[in-house]
Amino acid sequence: MPETTFMGVPRSRIPWAPTIDYQKCDFCMECDEFCPHRVFERRDGDVKLVVANPDNCVVFCRACAKTCGPDAISFPDKPSTVALIKKLRSEEDEG
């Protein structure tokens, strides 16, 4: 399967995905129930939820964070992500 791209850049080179703050997360699973892209995965043990498929995350989408009561989900800074994508695109253009 060919690698997925976003705005012409290999998705794997864009570090856009949620980060769970386990100090805050109460494993209510709202985010996992919400997200249709299987970014999260449930686990047995102390840490019951992990970001298993970061590349499935839709770049610039932060919807799961809005469902998070304890405010445990954060995302990379948007302007620097845009800057990175621009940089990668220009590299791509230069070949």
Partner 1 sequence: MSYLVLACTGLDKAEGSVAREVAIRLAEEAGAAIICPVALNRIPARYKKALAENRLVVVDGCATGCAGKLAAAAGAKPALRVLVSDVVKQAGSVLPPDLRLGPDALDLAREIADEIAARQAAAPGPQPAVAQKPGPVAFAPPADFVVVVHDKYEFRIPVTGFFFNANDIWVQVAGSRARVGISDYMQQRLTDITYVDPPEIGATIEQFDDICTVESTKAAFEVVSPVSGRVVLVNEALEDAPEAINEDPYDSWIAELELSAWEEDRTLLVDGPAYAAEVERKAAED
Contacts with partner 1 by CB under 8 A lie at 1, 4, 6-7, 34, 36, 58-63, 66, 78-79, 82, 85-86
Nearest to partner 1 of 7, 47 (CB atom): 7
Residues, the chain, total? 95
Nearer to partner 1, 51 or 61 (CB): 61
Q: For the CB of residue 80, give the shortest distance to partner 1 in the complex, in Å.
A: 12
Task: Label residues 15-35 b or e (16+ Cβ within 10 Å = b).
Answer: ebbbebeeeebebeebbbeeb
Q: How far is the CB of 21 from partner 1 (least distance, A)?
A: 20
Give the C-alpha distances (Å, rounded to integers) separating 39 from 2, 5, 29, 36, 75.
19, 17, 12, 8, 13
Query: Smallest distance, Å, CB 65 to partner 1?
Result: 10
